[in-house]
């Protein structure tokens, strides 16, 4: 069988190089196109030394023909790029996995409130399938266009899912206290992201309103089957990778063994791991891997439940999840190319 031909738009960022790390050794995929307006003509292994010896690709201009020869195209771009080009690719019969925020919100008006401009392809917002396989596996299998779940949203949804599905917590007062490594901000030349500004320090940001909030509330609403109210406070960690979400909810229903309940819910999920009672996840435990590790605790037997959920923001929170979606869309085993073990220490 011929390999699947894939392209990556926006290959200079961190999700781009991470896609290459995962796709180059993937047994059923061939990366044939890699675009970047700014770096057009430059070898990718000149920018990312780690790829020397394993990748001969050069960045090409997005207008390059090679993109049109792909069976499937990943967008590893900032928001507002994919929505300009996706309609044309779909019309051309190509599949698209978008890692950006362009197709995550269902409501074009809400999208433009948060992203500050009109949406360029609002007709695709309802067609786009939300790329979180643990919730949408079947829809993903049949989709042309995937809007990959964001990094914070992935860790928060997987943590809250069992409680919301079972209607066990007060959805009017959910709290998600999350922390992300600096790669979440991408490879942008900003003073705020300098080592000298964020190393040996910690802070909250976006407390008054973060772009991931509407995405999370939209999706939790679907799960809960009713309106939810989430207080979401992201923080910046002085680490490169990793998201740790600490979730708080007030139990409303009765639950005998919350540990067993979580274990049952995720028993057949290849990329969700419920830790044994009393063990808590650390971000390094998933460094470089596609696994989401979760612990659940009910301190002092009181009515507040605490869920801890960690992912590698560049893998399960971005490129790994994108490859997982691709595997599903293409009828491949879902875990193919995604079984690398986390790098510890």
* Interaction of residue 252 with a copy of itself, rule CB under 8 A: no
CA distances from 240 to 183, 186, 226, 237, 323 (A): 5, 10, 36, 8, 21
Calculate helix-pair angle for 151-165, 258-265, nearest 10 degrees: 120
Write down the catalytic residue from 55, 70, 148, 151. 151
* Interaction of residue 241 with a copy of itself, rule CB under 8 A: yes
Convert 214-228 to b/e letters by CB count within 10 Å (16 or more is b). Answer: bbbbbbbbbbbeeeb
Choice from 41, 116, 278, 331 touching a copy of itself (CB under 8 A): 278
Choice from 154, 289, 319, 321 touching a copy of itself (CB under 8 A): 289
Considering the complex, state which of residue 148 and residue 314 has its C-beta at the smaller distance from a copy of itself: 314
* Interaction of residue 201 with a copy of itself, rule CB under 8 A: yes
* Interaction of residue 189 with a copy of itself, rule CB under 8 A: yes
Distance of CA 109 to the CA centre of its chain: 23
Site for a copy of itself in 14-73 (CB under 8 A): 14, 17, 20-21, 24-25, 46, 48-54
* Interaction of residue 342 with a copy of itself, rule CB under 8 A: yes
Considering the complex, state which of residue 144 and residue 282 has its C-beta at the smaller distance from a copy of itself: 282
Choice from 118, 166, 279, 333 touching a copy of itself (CB under 8 A): 279
Choice from 4, 287, 311, 338 touching a copy of itself (CB under 8 A): 287
Considering the complex, state which of residue 123 and residue 190 has its C-beta at the smaller distance from a copy of itself: 190
CA distances from 172 to 108, 110, 164, 229, 231 (A): 25, 21, 12, 5, 10
CA distances from 28 to 7, 31, 233, 344 (A): 14, 10, 40, 28
State whether residue 178 is helix, strand or coil. strand
**Location of structure tokens 């009713």:** 226
Q: What is the DSSP string of 291-333?
A: -EEEEEE-GGG-SEEEEEEEE-TTIIIIIHHHHHHHHHHTTS-
116 in Cβ contact with 170 (< 8 Å): no
Enumerate residues 6+ apart whose C-beta is below 8 A from 139. Answer: 129, 130
Choice from 1, 65, 91, 341 touching a copy of itself (CB under 8 A): 341
Choice from 154, 239, 319, 324 touching a copy of itself (CB under 8 A): 239
Q: At closest approach, how far in Å is the CB of 139 from a copy of itself? A: 26
* Interaction of residue 323 with a copy of itself, rule CB under 8 A: no
* Interaction of residue 209 with a copy of itself, rule CB under 8 A: yes
Q: At closest approach, how far in Å is the CB of 225 from a copy of itself? A: 21
The pair of structure tokens assigned to 71 is 């069976």
Distance, in Å, from the CA atom of 180 to the CA atom of 236, rounded to the nearest integer, reads: 5
Q: At closest approach, how far in Å is the CB of 88 from a copy of itself? A: 31
Choice from 222, 251, 282, 330 touching a copy of itself (CB under 8 A): 282
Active site includes 151? yes
Site for a copy of itself in 142-181 (CB under 8 A): 173, 175, 177, 179, 181
Choice from 191, 256, 267, 268 touching a copy of itself (CB under 8 A): 191
101 in Cβ contact with 128 (< 8 Å): no
Q: Which residues are catalytic?
A: 151
């Amino acid at each position: 069988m011929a390999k699947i031909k894939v392209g990556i738009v926006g290959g200079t960022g961190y999700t781009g190089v991470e896609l290459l790390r995962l796709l180059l050794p993937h047994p059923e995929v061939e990366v044939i196109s890699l675009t970047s307006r700014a770096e057009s003509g430059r070898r990718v292994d000149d920018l990312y030394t780690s790829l020397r010896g394993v990748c001969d690709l050069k960045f090409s201009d997005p207008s390059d023909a090679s993109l049109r020869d792909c069976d499937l195209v990943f967008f590893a771009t900032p928001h507002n790029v994919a929505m300009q080009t996706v309609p044309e690719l779909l019309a051309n019969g190509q599949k698209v996995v978008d890692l950006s925020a362009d197709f995550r919100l269902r409501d074009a008006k809400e999208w433009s409130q948060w992203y500050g401009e009109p949406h360029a392809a609002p007709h695709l917002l309802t067609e786009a399938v939300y790329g979180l396989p643990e919730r949408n596996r079947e829809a993903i299998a049949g989709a042309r266009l995937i809007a990959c779940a964001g990094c914070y949203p992935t860790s928060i949804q997987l943590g809250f899912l069992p409680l919301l599905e079972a209607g066990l917590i007060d959805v009017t007062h959910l709290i998600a206290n999350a922390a992300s490594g600096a790669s979440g901000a991408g490879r942008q030349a900003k003073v705020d992201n300098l080592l000298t500004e964020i190393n040996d320090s910690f802070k909250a940001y976006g407390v008054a309103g973060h772009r991931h909030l509407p995405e999370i509330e939209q999706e939790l609403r679907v799960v809960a089957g009713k309106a939810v109210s989430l207080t979401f406070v992201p923080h910046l960690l002085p680490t490169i990778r990793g998201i740790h979400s600490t979730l708080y909810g007030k139990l409303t229903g009765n639950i005998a063994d919350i540990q067993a309940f979580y274990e049952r819910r995720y028993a057949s999920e290849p990329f969700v791991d419920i830790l044994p009672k009393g063990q808590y996840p650390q971000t390094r435990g998933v460094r470089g891997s596609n696994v989401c590790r979760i612990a659940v605790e009910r301190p002092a037997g009181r009515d507040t439940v605490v869920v801890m959920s960690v992912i590698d923001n560049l893998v399960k929170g971005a490129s790994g999840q994108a490859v997982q979606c691709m595997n599903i869309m293409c009828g491949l085993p879902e875990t193919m190319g995604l079984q690398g073990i986390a790098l510890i220490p």
